[in-house]
Amino acid sequence: MPISIIEINNLHFSYDNKDEILKGINLSLDLRPTAIIGQNGAGKTTFVKLLKGLLRPSQGRIMLNGLDTESLSVAQLAKNIGLIFQNPNDQIFKNTVIDEVMFGILQVNKKIPKHLAKSTALDALKMVRLDHLSNLNPYDLSLSDRKLISIASIIAMDTQIIIFDEPTIAQDFTGKLLIQNIIKSLSAQGKLVISILHDMDFVADCFERVVVFSKGTVILDGPTKSVFAQKNLLLDVYLEQPHIMQLAQELKMDDNVLNVDEFINNFKNNNYSGGSKMKKALLIIDYVYDFIADDGNLTCGKPGQALEQNIINLIKTFQQNGDFVIEVSDNHDESDVYNKERTMFPLHCFDQKGCKLYGEVDNAIDKNQNYLKINKNRYSAFYGTALDLKLKERNVNELHLVGVCTDICILHTAIDAYNLGYKIVVHENGVASFNPAGHEYALSHFKNVLGAEVIS
């Protein structure tokens, strides 16, 4: 458990003893940089003013490092908590920038020599890149500069806890980046940084934890990614997800993506085409009774039977990942004397028993999701079938081959898959043949001639 710095129990507050603005807040704030979000009027500013001791709870308790803040004066609290106001005009009152920044330092450390207070103030102004404006009147500067000056004033006080109320207001991209770096650097120094924000992209980039306020209560609290994953709950309280997360969801990326780097990694690690993710398909070729069972009509026997569990495991993985499982098996017409594969070999795969998937493989497939069965009567699963069309409709570009026989139907299917441009993966523990030399030859052909990945 992270060590709690601020412990808030059943906090209630009302400005006028009539309307409750905060309705029983319970929170434990630790060193994780924490963002507070919520629609206008949710009570966020009121909450941080209570933490800072500028308002007193109507009910409940705020503990700071184990001490009840009720017992601490505003001056004592000021030594521990710095609050940068939402509106800098509410904070700034001195006639020069340097005096403004020095004011807080002199308040928390009355004994500090003036020259030291001045150099500390200038260091803080350097952090916000405004040291060159130190002798100007803050009210001659822009709103964004005044916000940065109010940030410098609080940083200069070197408090353990720093609370920002809407730090990105009026900031352009450079200003936001600067504030982001300040927040990260304060946090790296071991300070607790809390910030109220309306900019969700900024929250996603900077904060580990997010607390969502709505109408005076906390409705969500947790790691940034898991809070932002709650799209519907956020919409209910008029909040949106970070834009990059929305984009990733539009593209149906599997993972929740918080920032641009995560998006790029996810994009690179997966294949996307036409705006959606490319899928994989497991092709189970001829793994049917007649080819596998001891008394099958054209059995490959024990080597084929040994694949059963491996194929079951692959089926589960593919279906769990939302990929496809496609059964492609021989289905011959007993009377078709023109079909060579019917006449060159003993009669096989012509009835229900002979065409049924072998053993437990049939039961392992959830046939209600991402499953297809295709009949063939040539070696290749593609020849004379709709397989290519079905795969393209499903955005499949990667085929995983299992079944029998490695050097006959698997090989012919792999050759057609190669010609049609599919990425081919052959599972060595998922393919077998009655002919060991043929099996070995086909494995090397997949790798060396068809560019397939052969994995075990």
Ligand X SMILES: Nc1ncnc2c1ncn2[C@@H]1O[C@H](COP(=O)(O)OP(=O)(O)OP(=O)(O)O)[C@@H](O)[C@H]1O
Q: Which residues bind ligand X (CB under 6 A)?
A: 15, 21, 38, 40-46, 86
**How far is the first Cα of the chain from the last one, in angstroms, to the nearest whole number?**
42
Which residue's CB is nearer to Mg ion, number 40 or number 456? 40
C-beta of 86: minimal distance to ligand X in Å?
A: 6
Q: Which partner in ligand X, Mg ion, none is near 451 (CB below 5 to 8 A by kind)?
A: none
Closest CB to ligand X among 45 and 150?
A: 45
Given Mg ion, ligand X, none, residue 224, with its beta carbon under 5 to 8 Å by kind, binds none
Instruction: Provide the CA 42 distance to its chain's centre, in angstroms.
Output: 27
Question: Residue 134 interacts with Mg ion (CB under 5 A)?
Answer: no
41 binds, among ligand X, Mg ion, none (CB under 5 to 8 A by kind): ligand X
What whole-number distance in Å separates Cα of residue 426 and Cα of residue 372? Answer: 19
Which residues are CB-neighbours of 299 under 8 A, at least 6 positions away?
A: 290, 291, 292, 293, 434
CB neighbour class for 371 (10 Å; exposed up to 12, middle 13-18, buried from 19): middle
DSSP-based three-state secondary structure for 369: coil
List alpha helices for 277-383, DSSP H.
Answer: 289-292, 302-305, 308-320, 340-343, 352-355, 361-364
Footprint of Mg ion on 48-87 (CB under 5 A): 86
**Which CB, 165 or 398, lies closer to ligand X?**
165
Number of H helices, E strands in the chain: 20, 18
Q: How far is the CB of 44 from ligand X (least distance, A)?
A: 4
Q: How far is the CB of 196 from Mg ion (least distance, A)?
A: 6
- DSSP H or E stretch at residue 196: strand 192-196
CB of 131 to Mg ion, least distance (A): 29
Q: Which is nearer to Mg ion, 169 or 229 (CB)?
A: 169
Site stretch for Mg ion (CB under 5 A), options 43-51, 121-129, 356-364, 415-423: 43-51
CB 402 within 8 A of CB 304: no
Whose Cβ is closer to ligand X: residue 54's or residue 251's? 54
By beta-carbon proximity to Mg ion, the closer residue of 130 and 162 is 162
Q: How near is the Cβ of 43 to Mg ion at its closest, in Å?
A: 9
Applying CB under 5 A, which of residues 20, 36, 45, 80 lies at the interface with Mg ion?
45
- Residue whose CB is less far from ligand X, 43 or 242: 43
Residue 270-299 contact track with Mg ion, rule CB under 5 A, x = bound: ------------------------------
Q: Give the neighbor-by-neighbor strand order of the sheet with 20-29.
A: 20-29, 6-14, 59-64, 67-68
Query: Which partner, ligand X, Mg ion, none, binds residue 326 by CB below 5 to 8 Å per kind?
Result: none
- Cβ neighbours of residue 90 closer than 8 Å, sequence gap 6 or more: none
Number of residues that bind Mg ion (CB under 5 A): 2
Give the H/E segment covering residue 397: strand 396-404
Query: Are the C-beta atoms of 5 and 32 separated by less than 8 Å?
Result: no
In the complex, which residues of this chain contact Mg ion (CB under 5 A)? 45, 86
